[in-house]
Structure 1
C-alpha cells in the first residue's frame, strides 16, 4: 500500500518545534526518521519514559531509532504502571531518580513514549531536571496526538485535584506515528475522535463536514485519514496557543464541552461508578452535546446544530447522554468549584454555530439544570 506523505505542523513560540505525523515514523530502517531524530538529540544521554501497556509494544522500536540516530548514546528506560491514577508526585520522583541514575546532563533528552499520562509526567520531569532539559514527545494515543502535542502543558495530579503541579515546557519535537494507533483499544480511539470533533465544532464547520465524510476511514484507522485529521487539529491548536501561550484568553475556547465533562468525570468517581466509568473523551462528547443544548436554550444557536453534532459523535460510537446515577444538583455543585466559575455564575464555552464559539460568563444555574433534566437517561 502506498504510504501517504508525512505531514508536518510547525508550532511557533519562544522555542519553535515541528510535529511530524504519519505512518512508520518510528522505523529505524528509514533514513528520514533517523535524520529527524539526529537533528534534535543534543547530548549523549537519553531516557525513554513509557508505561506498562506501551513499553512492551514500542520501546524496542524507539530504542533502535535512538541508537540509529546517535550510536554513542547512553540510553536507559523507565517504565511506569499504566493509568491516570499513577500520575503522581511519587512517580514523578521515580522518573527523576531514573535521570539521576543515568547521569543525565543538561543536554540530555527525555523521550516520552505513551499517552497523555506519560507525556504529562515525562514532560514535567524534563522541565524540572536541572531546570529544564529537552523532551521529545512520541504520543501513542489519538487523544495525545491531537491534544497534548501542542501547548507544552505538563503536570502531575494531587489527591486534591488534577494537574495542580506542573509547568509549561514545550517539546523539542513531536513524532506522531499513526501506525501505533493500530494497537490502540477501540474505546481509546473513539475517545480521541471526540477531541477531533471538538476542533471542528470550535474552529471549522468544513472540518466537521470532512469528518462526516471520512468517519468510516477514521474508525478503520486509515493512515491518510488519521494523518489529515491529526494535522488539522494540531494546526488549529497551534494557532490558538501562539496567540495565547499561557491561557489568559482565547485558549479557554479549547475547553468546549470540558466544564460539563470534568464535572461528569469527577462526580462519577465520587458516586463510586467504577469499571463502567466514562473516560475523558466520552465525558467530553457528552459535555459538547450539553454545551450545544445550553447554547440553544440561551437563544445563541439553533437546535439543529446540536442535533448534527450529536449525530456525528454517535457515528463515532461515542455517548451523548448523561449516564444514569449522576445527580444534576451534584454536577452543578462541582461546576461551582470549577476554576472557570466566578461570583456571577458559571462559565461555559458556547457556540452560535460550528466554527463560532466564545466564552460566556454568568450563566444561571436554572438553565444548566434544565439542560441536565432534558439530557437524563441512557
Structure 2
C-alpha cells in the first residue's frame, strides 16, 4: 500500500493523503489532542461511514455520528443549526474535532460547522467523490447555500488534513464520477496540461474510477489546487483562477435549483469562459475547440438552453468575483495561464453564450 502526501502550504499547512485502502491513516490526521470526534456524514453512505466510525473508535476516541442529507440539500442553514445543537448535546469542546465524510456538499457543510462551532475546532475531511477529492475538500473554503445563491455564506477555514481513499470512488455512480472529471479537466486548462493529455489519450479510462490513470489524475489535480491555495488562501488574487468557468456554472446551478450536477455546469462554464477568452483576442479557435473535445470525450455537456440566458445573466451579477457593478471573469491568456476580464461588453457576453447554447 503506497501513500502519497501533498502538502498545502500557508499559515496552517496540512497534508492531503492519497492512496487505496488507507483509512488507517485517519487517526493520525485527527491527532492526539481531541477526546471526542463528531463524524458528519452523508446519510446515503452508511457503508463508508461505518468503517470511519470503527477506525476512530478503535483509536480510542469518543465518537458521535451525525447523518446529514445527501447532496446540496445538506448545505442549508437549518441543517447547520441542527449540527450546532447536536454538537452541544454531545459536549463537544474546543479541543475536540469534526470529521466530514462524503461528497463536496458534505465536506463544505462539515468544514463550516467546525469553523463556526466555538469559533473553530479541528476538522479532518474524508471526501468520497472525485469532485470532493480534487476540489471541495482541499483549500479551506467552507459554506452553505441560501436562496439567493450558492456558497454565499461561509468561511475560509483550512482543515487539519484530508484523506482521499481511492477505494471509495468505486461506489460513486457513473454520472457523478464523470461530473468530478470537470474540475480535474479544468485544472489541466488553467495550470497542468498533462492532465488534458492523460484524458485525451484514454477518455474511456479517464471516465472510470478503475482507469489506468485515476490516481495520477487525482494527484495532479490536487497538486494544482494545493499550489494555488497554499499561495493565496483567501482569494486575494491567484486563487481566483480556480473559479475558471464557475461564473456561468453557478448561475446554471441556481437556475436548476441545484439539481444540476456541479461538474456538468462547470464543463459548460469553462467552454463559455474559453469563448470569452477567444472573443477578447487572448486564445485561438483551436484551444476553444479543445475545451469542447476534452469535456465531451468523457461525457460532459458543453451546451445549455438558449432561452435561459436572461436569468443566467441576471444571476451572474452577484458572483463573488463581481466588484461593485463590474462583472469579472477568469479567462485564459494561453493554455495553463489565466487572466482576468473585467466589465466585458454586453454584446460580447451574449455572443459567447450563443456559442454554448442550443
Q: Provide TM-score, normalisation by structure 2.
A: 0.94
Alignment match of 2:132 (pick from 117, 122, 144) = 144
Aligned partner of 1:213 in structure 2 is 201
1:303 shift after superposition:
0.5
1:346 shift after superposition:
2.9
Question: After superposition, where does 1:20-39 map in structure 2 within 5 Å?
Answer: 20-26=17-23, 28=24, 33=25, 36-37=28-29
1:329 shift after superposition:
2.7
Q: Which moved more, 1:80-89 or 1:188-197?
A: 80-89
Are 1:46 and 2:40 counterparts?
Answer: no
Q: Secondary structure at the match of 1:375?
A: coil
Aligned partner of 2:322 in structure 1 is 341
Aligned partner of 1:280 in structure 2 is 262
Deviations along 1:181-210, whole A, 9 cap, x unmatched? 111111111111000000000012233112
Aligned partner of 2:79 in structure 1 is 91
Are 1:374 and 2:355 counterparts?
Answer: yes
Q: Secondary structure at the match of 2:256?
A: helix
- For 1:196 and 1:319, the matched residues in 2 are separated by 15
Q: Secondary structure at the match of 1:366?
A: helix
Aligned partner of 1:332 in structure 2 is 313
1:107 shift after superposition:
1.5
Aligned partner of 1:10 in structure 2 is 7
Instruction: Indicate the RMSD between aligned Cα atoms, in angstroms.
Output: 2.0
Are 1:200 and 2:188 counterparts?
Answer: yes
- For 2:26 and 2:68, the matched residues in 1 are separated by 26
Aligned partner of 2:334 in structure 1 is 353
1:336 shift after superposition:
2.8
- For 1:292 and 1:34, the matched residues in 2 are separated by 40
Deviations along 1:246-286, whole A, 9 cap, x unmatched? 111111111111112122222333xxxx9xx5311101101
Structure 2: unaligned runs, 5 residues or longer: none
Alignment match of 2:57 (pick from 67, 82, 85) = 67
Q: Secondary structure at the match of 2:57?
A: helix
1:180 shift after superposition:
0.5
1:295 shift after superposition:
1.4
Provide closer, same or farther for how the CA distance between residues 230 and 207 of structure 1 changes in structure 2, counting only shifts above 3 A: same
Provide closer, same or farther for how the CA distance between residues 60 and 306 of structure 1 changes in structure 2, counting only shifts above 3 A: same
Structure 1: unaligned runs, 5 residues or longer: none
Q: Which moved more, 1:252-261 or 1:342-351?
A: 342-351
- For 2:160 and 2:329, the matched residues in 1 are separated by 33
Provide closer, same or farther for how the CA distance between residues 179 and 373 of structure 1 changes in structure 2, counting only shifts above 3 A: same
Aligned partner of 2:156 in structure 1 is 168
- For 2:158 and 2:27, the matched residues in 1 are separated by 21
Are 1:363 and 2:354 counterparts?
Answer: no
Provide closer, same or farther for how the CA distance between residues 61 and 216 of structure 1 changes in structure 2, counting only shifts above 3 A: same
Alignment match of 1:103 (pick from 88, 91, 96) = 91
Q: Secondary structure at the match of 2:18?
A: strand
Alignment match of 2:303 (pick from 321, 335, 338) = 321
Provide closer, same or farther for how the CA distance between residues 362 and 35 of structure 1 changes in structure 2, counting only shifts above 3 A: closer
Provide closer, same or farther for how the CA distance between residues 212 and 258 of structure 1 changes in structure 2, counting only shifts above 3 A: same
Are 1:122 and 2:110 counterparts?
Answer: yes
Aligned partner of 1:300 in structure 2 is 282
- For 1:89 and 1:355, the matched residues in 2 are separated by 37
- For 1:224 and 1:74, the matched residues in 2 are separated by 39
Number of residue equivalences? 358
Provide closer, same or farther for how the CA distance between residues 215 and 94 of structure 1 changes in structure 2, counting only shifts above 3 A: same
Question: After superposition, where does 1:247-286 map in structure 2 within 5 Å?
Answer: 247-269=235-257, 278-286=260-268
Which of the two has higher C-alpha Rg? 1
Aligned partner of 2:48 in structure 1 is 58
Deviations along 1:329-377, whole A, 9 cap, x unmatched? 3322222333323467532111133201111112111011112223321
1:158 shift after superposition:
2.3
Q: Is the contact between residue 146 and residue 152 of structure 2 (CA under 8 Å) also seen in structure 1? A: yes
Q: Which moved more, 1:176-185 or 1:342-351?
A: 342-351
Question: After superposition, where does 1:179-198 map in structure 2 within 5 Å?
Answer: 179-198=167-186
Provide closer, same or farther for how the CA distance between residues 247 and 35 of structure 1 changes in structure 2, counting only shifts above 3 A: closer
